[in-house]
Amino acid sequence: MARTESDTVHGELSSGAAERLHALDVFDVIPSTNTYLIDQAPPEPGQYRVAIASHQTAGRGRSNNLWLSAPEASLCLSMSYTFKQTPVNLPPLTLALGVNVAEVLADLGIAGIALKWPNDIYVNEAKLGGILTEVQQRERVSVVAGIGINLSVDDAMKKAFADDLVVRPIGLADVIDNPPERNLLSARVIEAWVSAIDDFEAKGFDAFAKRFGDYDWLSGKTVIADTPQGTCEGVAAGINTTGALLVVDGDATHSIVSGTIRHVRADT
């Protein structure tokens, strides 16, 4: 019997992660891996379900923004998980997932990895990927977390966003001579997220707050953030222990729990 991509990814997982994997679905093309998992029954508490695609036709980012990528040019992966006990502070889970992905990418030899609050992955001052986490409330609380990582970015896309520091794209092929093969990358992301969710469920965001600071792309930059309370402008000064972004404006320090970074300026 021919070995499928699902078999290959499964074979790259540690025995502990593989035993807890409820299902692993691999698609050539799908509208959205997150949407697919949201439409499925959530796994039993402590287990995981994963969907992977080579291309999404309706990929989503935060605030219903589209995630754009060419066929075969990105890794699109989503994971669903049901909590045994709901964490007290669930929103910074996205940051925790980002920390573990950043560490995995660094371990794979990719230098200059950074995280842009609240959900983006950067390298060499450009956007490599993003994370979208969605919460479902049924009998228990479950989450569906999705990640998109650019494997390659064509010249037209680079040119279109070259002057936008917030969204200009970059691919793994731009920063490493031998990028990790897609199936290996998928397995490493799954492993990273299994570990992140376990630690987050047991210890909360405390296990990640300091480590996020090691990758904080916004720190020291002037930002304009759109928040539910209005627009906030100032110098990013890290995050607090609850995962809120700290922005200093004169003598005032604002804690941003949710929002979108609309503009970034690297001060000199």
- 5-212 CATH choice from 1.10.3720.10, 3.30.930.10, 1.10.10.10, 3.20.20.70: 3.30.930.10
- Location of structure tokens 């983006």: 120
- Can you list the alpha helix ranges (DSSP code H) found in 31-171? 33-38, 93-107, 155-160
Domain locations in the chain as residue ranges: 5-212, 218-265
Burial class of residue 199, CB neighbours in 10 A (0-12, 13-18, 19+) = middle
Looking at domain 218-265, which CATH architecture does it have?
Answer: Roll (2.30)
Nearest to 121 by CA among 57, 184, 183, 185: 185
State the pLDDT at residue 109.
94
- CA end-to-end span of the chain: 60
Distance, in Å, from the CA atom of 159 to the CA atom of 148, rounded to the nearest integer, reads 20
5-212 with 218-265: one CATH topology? no
Distance, in Å, from the CA atom of 150 to the CA atom of 70, rounded to the nearest integer, reads 9
pTM given for the model: 0.91
Give 56-59's long-range contacts (Cβ < 8 A, gap of 24+): 56/29, 56/30, 56/31, 56/32, 56/148, 57/29, 57/30, 57/31, 58/31, 58/32, 59/32, 59/33, 59/148
> pLDDT tens, 86-127?
888 999 999 999 999 999 999 999 999 999 999 999 999 999
- In the chain, helix, strand, coil percent, each to 5? 30, 35, 35
> pLDDT tens, 164-209?
767 789 999 999 999 998 899 999 999 999 999 999 999 999 989 9
> pLDDT tens, 127-177?
999 999 999 887 889 999 999 999 998 888 777 777 776 778 999 999 999
